[in-house]
A = this chain, B = another copy of it.
């Protein structure tokens, strides 16, 4: 399983799709996008921070754990840091697998676990505050 884990300060640009083999039948991509309303407050942006060595290690382990029930061939994970304005992606995940069900289940489970265990934090940048 090829895994790429990246934290970047700039706008997320998905890398070009290159298939890891001729046995790939499914590619699932997920963008997590900053919404204007969170807890009923109008946001201007979210500001993300990370404990990067631990986050990378936790993500690698989550991906590894999930590959047993949901065998996939390759994963690209990109999380943006710093200020992410409403309407832009804070998270991008791409998963390649032979069949669609594994990639979809993996994607869903990976995000769930990330949200519970991976040391990344967001903070609201409210509309009245100048970013």
Contact = CB atoms under 8 A, between A and B. Distances in A.
Interface of A: 17, 19, 22-37, 86-87, 89, 98, 100-101, 104, 107-108, 111
Contacts of A35: 22-25, 98
Contact of A33 (B25, B34, B104, B107): B25
Nearest to A24: B33
B31 A27 contact: yes
Contact of A30 (B27, B86, B89): B27
A17 B29 CA distance: 13
Number of chain copies forming the complex: 2
15 contacts: A17-B31, A19-B87, A22-B36, A23-B35, A24-B35, A25-B35, A27-B29, A27-B89, A28-B28, A29-B29, A29-B30, A29-B31, A100-B108, A100-B111, A104-B108
Contacts of A32: 25-26, 100
Nearest to A104: B108
Contacts of A25: 32-35
Contacts of A27: 29-31, 33, 89
Contacts of A29: 27-31
A28 B33 CA distance: 11
